[in-house]
Amino acid sequence: MSKILVTGGAGYIGSHAVKLLLEKKYQVAVVDNLCRGYRQPIAALQKKFGRSSLKFYRADLRNEKEMVKVFTQEKPEAVLHFAALCLVNESVEKPEKYFENNVCGSLNLLKAMILQKTKYLVFSSTCAVYGESKYLPVDEKHPLSPANPYGESKLITEKMISWIGERHGIRQVMLRYFNVSGASSDGTIGDSKKPSQLLIQNAVRGALKIEPFKLVCPKVKTRDGTPVRDYVNVEDLAEAHLKALDYLKRGNQSDIFNLGTGQGSSVLEIIKQVQEITGTKFKINKGKVRKGEYAEVYADIKKAKSKLGWRSKRTIKDSINSLVKWYQKHPNGWDN
């Protein structure tokens, strides 16, 4: 089976993709500098699938020499590129950090791919490239107008990948995820962001009394005054990456796909659902309001359905239940 290199594979979404790749018998090499990721999911997966199926390199994408070394050693057929800094609020405070890590890191990755003649790239992009929606649902032709440096860093990286890929024969799929939620359904892998920026994760932590829940969204013009987002399950997302790889290997051209459910939920609706499913009416404390947020966004998912053959199968209820399972076993997430 071919070798896939996964950047950011020790992080939240990346570790779920690594798990699925291993289940599908791929050989995997993970590159992660552990600035936001953890050794534990890698160790757990190595224990289950064997060290020979999953290699781990603690390396930084900003270090070109390190990247070239890993590629020379591994000679991967394809790359799933998850590694990035992705906190909207932090990106507004420290934009330079986001452009250096997300854009320069991706450039080094591309240079290593060119040298090693790696053919395929699947890039983790985001609906943040669209900014405030001009119409709903948001399709891939929607105007691109990021509202924060995080989204801008992803848009610049998309463009860079596209130009360099075209010149050097690297075919690519950009996956623009909407809001990611859930944990693996067996409760073995999950989210460990500290503090988490993700609403469903935080609401479940509030319900399980792990940490008081804080409402940090601004007041916006929506049906109940709280932001509306499209929450897509992390295992569904992992499946989309395999579909994207398959799509490229079948000889299709580079393309861009939205990954969401096609439906929006407001912050208050999500809180209500978490309270109902867990049977816990937790207190809603007001926290420091986040910067760089917008009112309403949800995805048009027709293109991913028709061209990739992907659709989200898991519901918000499934995501909530998987997170309950995960946090019951790992109240503080990974710690190492």
Ligand X SMILES: NC(=O)c1ccc[n+]([C@@H]2O[C@H](COP(=O)([O-])OP(=O)(O)OC[C@H]3O[C@@H](n4cnc5c(N)ncnc54)[C@H](O)[C@@H]3O)[C@@H](O)[C@H]2O)c1
- Tell me which residues touch ligand X (CB under 6 A): 8, 10-14, 32-37, 60-62, 82-86, 101, 105, 124, 126, 177, 179-180, 193
Residue type at position 41: P
- Least distance between ligand X and beta carbon 329 (Å): 18
Q: Which residues pair with 138 in a beta bridge?
A: 299
Q: What is the biggest distance separating any 2 CA atoms in the chain, rounded to whole angstroms? A: 56
Q: Under a CB-based contact definition with an 8 Å cutoff, are residues 54 and 30 in contact?
A: yes
Helix 39-49 and helix 12-23, axial crossing angle in degrees, nearest 10 = 10
d(CA 191, CA 182): 8
CB nearer to ligand X: pick between 1 and 315? 315
Closest distance of CB 35 from ligand X, Å: 4
CB of 281 to ligand X, least distance (A): 26
Backbone angles phi, psi at 64, to 5 degrees: -60, -40
Active-site residue, 150 included: yes
Q: What is the dihedral of CA 277, 203, 198, 184, to 10 degrees?
A: -40
Nearer to ligand X, 39 or 168 (CB): 39
Q: Which is nearer to ligand X, 241 or 325 (CB)?
A: 241
Reduced to 3 states (helix: H, G, I; strand: E, B; else coil), residue 78 is strand
Exposed, middle or buried: residue 96 (CB in 10 Å: 0-12, 13-18, 19+)?
A: exposed
- Quote the least distance from Cβ 296 to ligand X, whole Å: 16
Task: Give me 133's structure tokens.
Answer: 């929606």
- C-beta closer to ligand X: residue 42 or 324: 42
Residue 97: enclosing H or E segment and its boundaries? helix 95-98
| Nearer to ligand X (CB atom), residue 61 or residue 271 | 61
Q: Quote the DSSP letter at residue 127.
A: G
| Distance of closest approach, residue 220 Cβ to ligand X, in angstroms | 18
Which tokens sit at 177? 């995820």
For 291, phi and psi rounded to 5 degrees?
-95, 160
Tokens, residue 79: 């790359």
Nearer to ligand X, 101 or 251 (CB): 101
The active-site residue, picked from 57, 150, 247, 294, is 150
The label of the residue with tokens 């019951």 reads: 328
Q: Which residues are catalytic?
A: 150
